[in-house]
Structure 1
Amino acid sequence: MEDRYSAVVGIRGDPKQAIFGVFDGHGGAKAAEFASKNIDKNIINELTRREGEGIVEAVRHGYLTTDSEFLKEDVHGGTCCVTALIRNGNLVVSNAGDCRAVVSRGGAAEALTSDHRPSREDERERIEAQGGYVDCRNGIWRIQGTLAVSRGVGDGHLKQWVIAEPETKVLAIEPDHEFLILASDGLWDKVSNQEAVDVARALCVETKPETLSACKKLTKLAISRGSCDDISVMVIHLGRFI
């Protein structure tokens, strides 16, 4: 099991501020472990240091700092990351890799991230422009014939192409934003965005919120469909942060 997660609620003593993350390690759990312990701290530090410069830049530098710090550890492996920062009534979702964030908006699933895989045209073009190559083996696209994701923390031997630069989306939390699902690809490879929302909604909106039960049910659903990958699922009820 190479996945890890993090959850920090009550940033600076404010119950309406929080940051959550799911980290899908590969080549060992060291990078996921490191990111789960440091990326939230680095993002919060950047928010303080860059007050007024914009929240997207703060998150970006939080990711890049975590990456550079891990590379200094001289440890093999890497990790995909997805984080959700809740601050001043805004939801700030970022990712590097193929962990995904999906929000339920009145029961409709809306993906807030786009998976970073070598098969994505813009990612393939970026890699090739930097002198790398992407090929498909047994139906899976890989960088330099090895890694099946194109962004993440770590992967020092592929750092020229596997960047830690996150993509970030910011939206105001509205009353119809019911809950957010953060999960590794062990879930998303077997369960669609809308299916995941439907399963979680029955336990989080239509009844008293049972977010842990929703996580367990989604995990079991992916396993029942043959997922042999690590599976991590986090469901965050957004109403408490409005």
Structure 2
Amino acid sequence: MSSKGEHQTVPLSVLLRREQQNEKIENPELSYGQASQSKKGEDFTLLKTECQRNVGDGVATFSVFGLFDGHNGTAAAIYAKEHLLSNVLSAMPSDLNRDDWVAALPRALVAGFVKTDKEFLEKGKPSGTTVTFVIIDGWYVTVASVGDSRCILETSDGEIYSLSADHRLETNAEERQRVTASGGEVGRLNTGGGTEIGPLRCWPGGLCLSRSIGDRDVGEFIVPVPYVKQVKLSTGGGRLIISSDGVWDILSFEAALQCCRGMSPEAAAAQIVKEAVQPKGLRDDTTCIVVDILPLEKNAPPLPPPKKKGVLKGMFRKKSAESSSNHDQEYMEPDVVEEMFEEGSADLSERLWLDDLHLQIAHNVCDDSNNRLMACRLDTKYPLCNMFKLFMCAICQVEIKPGEGISIHAGSANRRTRPWDGPFLCQTCQEKREAMEGKRPSGVRYNSDSD
């Protein structure tokens, strides 16, 4: 028998058992619930499982959970709920395998958020909305967010991860600096006589957020470019809590998880909302979505709360008592969450450009179109016409005639990129990008002269 150490041999029985389990848990079981208490009626949710996408001759499924916390009316939240998913998917290439599809999501989410904002602003309505948008494909969880709703993850062994960003000017110094550098003013509400009250806000408009969809009446430095984080869970699973600021203004991440431990997702969501509302009463729309991600064979009643308060232990069993053995416990793999992607920059030239893996995807897509291959090969001196779809705007997906597209690298000081390299933007999306980055007069929203 080999001694424990670096070159320890794993018993064949354990390897066979792992292989059998991996076949069963390629896709997790999702269980979810939501709850809300409404004061203004401006919170909306999207819960959509079993969404289908084409993969070769078959189809694959994924799930979407979205929280839209509107302000100054409901129009922006409703529009984003109805159109954001389709706008994200329109920016994705077709017939990708899971790994490539997941790798392409961060860029597509950026394009989808900006396109949704651009389309909504054309309607001339003044409202805005925060968005926390979660896509689950197998064990991959991808979260895109603007505003102050938040998404957190607790793994099966009690580790807590934040999967979103808080874009409040009060708490985000980096965003305050970005807004002022783009021409905005940040300060508190002045009631006269030098007295200032309330949270930090951006002027004009008085919005306390630095990122949102909509908000036509504020400067272009309030951007719809989302923070995106993507992780891969272990097969131990985990619990997601997606909540509006009405929850996080009252509860810490640990308190939100602790108050609902051992509950089903539906009961957990209701309990979190109750805990958030009780201390000060209902002051704002308060909404919560809870999603449990579990292997199929672990779809069992939740564990009871731990006896010792304040200790964050795992919610889910790693193995049932019947299947456990000394060998299983000795060779049990750690419950690790692998970070696949994280980026929060508001610079579109950074967010629409792709890393080596994405470039390979684009190369493969181009190879499928022989008559256009020489126009966009990545390993020659020829310019890249478009990362995913040839001669289309990287944001709004409108077709662009050759030579009319504006490269996101135009005017860049980066020597590694050239102004004729893609992705490309149409004229209106380029104007929006310039305004968002403070390169044209602030306060003139997209296409405002036509309304």
Report the alpha carbon displacement of residue 101 of structure 1 after superposing the two structures with TM.
Answer: 0.4
Q: Which digits, 9 at most, give the CA deviation of each residue in 1:123-158, with x for residues without a partner?
A: 011110111111134241111161111101000122
Report the alpha carbon displacement of residue 178 of structure 1 after superposing the two structures with TM.
Answer: 1.3
Is the aligned partner of 1:132 residue 2:192? no
Q: What's the Cα RMSD here?
A: 2.1
- Structure 1 counterpart of 2:283, one-letter code: C
Distance in 1 between residues matched to 2:84 and 2:261, nearest whole Å = 29
User: SS of the counterpart of 1:6?
Assistant: strand
Equivalent position to 1:213, from 261, 267, 270: 267
- Structure 2 counterpart of 1:222, one-letter code: A
**Quick check: 1:108–1:197 contact (8 Å CA) kept in 2?**
no
Counterpart in 2 of 1:114? 165
Distance in 1 between residues matched to 2:92 and 2:138, nearest whole Å = 12
Report the alpha carbon displacement of residue 177 of structure 1 after superposing the two structures with TM.
Answer: 3.8
Equivalent position to 2:250, from 190, 210, 215: 190
Counterpart in 2 of 1:165? 225
Is the aligned partner of 1:233 residue 2:250? no
Is the aligned partner of 1:6 residue 2:51? no
Distance in 1 between residues matched to 2:93 and 2:45, nearest whole Å = 23
Report the alpha carbon displacement of residue 201 of structure 1 after superposing the two structures with TM.
Answer: 2.7
Is the aligned partner of 1:62 residue 2:112? yes
> How high is the sequence identity, in percent, across the aligned residues?
27
Q: How does 1:46-85 map to 2 (within 5 A)?
A: 46-48=91-93, 54-85=104-135
Report the alpha carbon displacement of residue 113 of structure 1 after superposing the two structures with TM.
Answer: 1.2
Report the alpha carbon displacement of residue 240 of structure 1 after superposing the two structures with TM.
Answer: 5.5
Distance in 2 between residues matched to 1:46 and 1:238, nearest whole Å = 27
User: SS of the counterpart of 2:261?
Assistant: helix
**Quick check: 2:200–2:208 contact (8 Å CA) kept in 1?**
yes
Is the aligned partner of 1:154 residue 2:221? no
Distance in 2 between residues matched to 1:95 and 1:9, nearest whole Å = 20
Task: Structure 2 unaligned segments of length 5 or more: list them.
Answer: 1-40, 54-58, 190-196, 299-451
- Structure 2 counterpart of 1:142, one-letter code: R
Larger Rg: 2
Report the alpha carbon displacement of residue 49 of structure 1 after superposing the two structures with TM.
Answer: 5.9
Q: Which digits, 9 at most, give the CA deviation of each residue in 1:32-68, with x for residues without a partner?
A: 1111111122222222469657221011111111111
Distance in 1 between residues matched to 2:295 and 2:82, nearest whole Å = 24
**More divergent stretch after superposition (179-188 vs 106-115):** 106-115
- Structure 2 counterpart of 1:231, one-letter code: T
- Structure 2 counterpart of 1:81, one-letter code: V
- Structure 2 counterpart of 1:197, one-letter code: L
Report the alpha carbon displacement of residue 202 of structure 1 after superposing the two structures with TM.
Answer: 2.2
**More divergent stretch after superposition (166-175 vs 11-20):** 11-20
Cα gap change, 1:88 to 1:202, in 2 (>3 Å): closer
Report the alpha carbon displacement of residue 23 of structure 1 after superposing the two structures with TM.
Answer: 0.6
Task: Structure 1 unaligned segments of length 5 or more: list them.
Answer: 204-209
User: SS of the counterpart of 1:156?
Assistant: coil
Distance in 2 between residues matched to 1:101 and 1:107, nearest whole Å = 16
**More divergent stretch after superposition (154-163 vs 94-103):** 154-163
User: SS of the counterpart of 1:47?
Assistant: coil
Report the alpha carbon displacement of residue 238 of structure 1 after superposing the two structures with TM.
Answer: 1.4
Distance in 1 between residues matched to 2:159 and 2:251, nearest whole Å = 15
Counterpart in 2 of 1:206? none
Q: Which digits, 9 at most, give the CA deviation of each residue in 1:150-191, with x for residues without a partner?
A: 101000122412100001001112234411011110110001
Distance in 2 between residues matched to 1:156 and 1:142, nearest whole Å = 16
**More divergent stretch after superposition (148-157 vs 40-49):** 40-49
Counterpart in 1 of 2:201? 142
Number of equivalences: 236
Report the alpha carbon displacement of residue 213 of structure 1 after superposing the two structures with TM.
Answer: 1.0
